[in-house]
Amino acid sequence: MTSFKEVVLLDEMISTYRASHLTQFRPGTTALLKSDNESDDLFSMVQSAKKAPGSTSLAVVDTTGLAADELGKPTQNALEIYTDMLTLSSLANVVAMQEVYKEHPQQFDITNPKEASAFITAQTVKLNDTFTRRLGKYAIPSETTGYSFSKNVTQADFHLDFLTTLFDSFNFQKDSIKKLDGILIQVTETLKNLQLKFESETQTLDHLILTNYIEPLEIEGVPEKILVGKIRLFYLKIEYSSWQAVIAKQTVSSFDFKMNYFDTILTINSTLVRGDIEDIKKLIEEFTQNSFDDVKKLTSPTMISK
């Protein structure tokens, strides 16, 4: 695992990239990928993450309040904040996958249940590390709070219990919960079809849920509330027996679902991100040797109206 001393913050990475004009990074920073093969492999990993996801990304779009206009659509200010968050997230995804690549330069064979499991775990760990430790001045993280969830549930009630536990504070309406449920089903089916194989029954299924949203904040001395972008991370560690019960072919009346999860909220500094946004896009293209738009398609969140 990368030590704290070796960590390069994303804002420093962009500053060095800009200053170097694509020539050389400072000693101790992450070097640009040198060969086309390495760039191709990195982009392939980003593509594989869609088929064997270690994370689920969401964007909550307000249809009322300061972030919405009279038609219930995002204001121009809100759209710019969403763009800031999603561009930063694209860079974080690529940098996290680069860390996975460093430790495992051979492509994971996601048709192999053991390798698919290892790939998913590696993604989750590196993504969480990148978002919580490496965004630098681009974001201010809250303290991470740990929780345990243990409940005897029926197959019929499991999804609602799960979604309520994580998203209760968002006050979603019924239609939004229905869409979230559809996303949960899709992710579950994707992971189920990979027939994941764990090293032991003590290993957990790890998954990261990233929720992008905008919150109006009151600032002393400012007459009107200010819109601020936030990313809420839920790092899930689902027990082996619980995962097996969720995907079991035979229906049972009820089962025990147990997981630990960790909740972190990041407050995005849109001013800094927006000032660096073109360099962020260029660095993503340098790392992957693909267009920013191609990478964004792979890392963009699913929209949920609120």
The letter for the amino acid at 231 is: I
Specify if 7 maps to a domain.
no
The pLDDT of 265-290, averaged and rounded, is 96
The 10s digit of each residue's pLDDT in 50-73 is: 999 999 999 999 998 899 999 999
Distance between start and end Cα atoms, the chain:
38
Which residues contact residue 47 at a Cβ distance below 8 angstroms, ignoring those fewer than 6 apart?
298
- Give 243's pLDDT tier (boundaries 50, 70, 90): very high
The total number of structural domains in the chain stands at 1
- Does some domain include residue 15? no
**What amino acid occupies position 265?**
I
The answer to whether residue 3 scores a pLDDT higher than 70 is no
What residues pair up with 31 in beta bridges, in sequence order? none
| Alpha-carbon radius of gyration of the chain | 20
**Confidence at residue 219, expressed as pLDDT on a 0 to 100 scale:** 83
- CA 57, 60, 65: angle at the middle one, nearest 5? 165
Query: Does residue 17 form part of some domain?
Result: no
Exposed e or buried b for every residue in 104-139, given b needs 16+ CB within 10 A?
eeeebebeeeebbbbbbbbbbbbbbbbbbebbbebb
The answer as to whether 10 is a domain residue is no
CA nearest to 86, candidates 271, 268, 287: 268
pLDDT at 77 over 70: yes
Report how many helices (DSSP H) and strands (DSSP E) the chain contains, helices first: 9, 7
Q: Structural domain of residue 70, as residue ranges?
A: 33-305
Measure the CA–CA gap between 235 and 105, rounded to whole angstroms: 25
Mapping DSSP onto H, E and C, the string for 2-27 reads: CCHHHCCCHHHHHHHHHHHCCCCCCC
Please indicate, yes or no, if residue 19 is contained in any of the structural domains.
Answer: no
Q: Does 2 reside within a domain?
A: no
Q: Is residue 127 part of a domain?
A: yes
0.85 cut: is pTM over it? Answer: yes
- Helix (H/G/I), strand (E/B), else coil: 241: helix
At 182-239, the pLDDT tens digits run 999 999 999 999 999 998 999 999 999 999 999 999 888 888 899 999 999 999 999 9
Let me know if residue 25 belongs to a domain.
Answer: no
User: In which band, very low, low, confident or very high, does the pLDDT at 21 lie, cut at 50, 70 and 90?
Assistant: low
